[in-house]
């Protein structure tokens, strides 16, 4: 049985999420010896969001790199779990149903709660694509995306 902290989050879940987010942050940390490296390695927090209360037993993470050309709007869809996204290049028009549309810029992250409808996903530029990583955390065996 996993260890549980005072706030109800299991140590296994916390370790898994910390490792996943650390993997996203690796491109942000300069390598020692590179010409762009500073005198010290630095790290900055780029995103923080509360997560649903889950045990995550029987869950898995799938990381997808998504590229959307300019002028293309992805159809409304849902994911069975929750999604953490990190914009690698370009600007992402983003909206979860019931929330205002926003633009997420290169180096910024987004969150989609379990079962929410991803209403808008598109490049904010009329001439440049947007490219992002999506970490989809969901129960094993469930389809990762379904039409909404």
Which residues make Cβ contacts (< 8 Å) with residue 105, sequence separation at least 6? 87, 91, 92
Domain boundaries, the chain: 50-147
Cβ atoms of residues 83 and 39 within 8 Å: no
What integer pLDDT is reported at residue 35 of this predicted model?
54
Which residues make Cβ contacts (< 8 Å) with residue 28, sequence separation at least 6? 43, 44, 46, 107
pLDDT means per 10 residues, the chain with 148 residues, are: 48 57 52 58 85 86 96 93 96 97 97 93 97 95 92
What integer pLDDT is reported at residue 54 of this predicted model?
78
Cβ atoms of residues 93 and 121 within 8 Å: yes
What integer pLDDT is reported at residue 1 of this predicted model?
43
CATH code of the domain made up of 50-147:
2.60.120.10
- Tell me the whole-structure pTM to 2 decimals: 0.70
């Amino acid at each position: 049985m996993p260890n549980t902290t005072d706030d109800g989050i299991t140590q296994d879940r916390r370790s898994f999420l910390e490792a996943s987010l650390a993997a996203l942050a690796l491109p942000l940390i300069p390598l020692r010896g590179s010409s762009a490296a500073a005198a010290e390695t630095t790290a900055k927090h780029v995103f923080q969001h509360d997560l649903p209360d889950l045990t995550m037993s029987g869950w898995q993470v799938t990381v997808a790199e998504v590229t959307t050309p300019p002028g293309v709007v992805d159809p409304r869809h849902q994911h069975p779990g929750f999604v953490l996204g990190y914009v690698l290049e370009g600007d992402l028009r983003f909206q979860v149903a019931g929330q205002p549309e926003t633009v997420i810029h290169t180096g910024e992250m987004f969150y989609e709660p379990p079962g929410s409808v991803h209403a808008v996903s598109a490049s904010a530029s009329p001439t440049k694509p947007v490219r992002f990583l999506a970490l989809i955390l969901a129960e094993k065996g469930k389809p990762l995306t379904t039409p909404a």
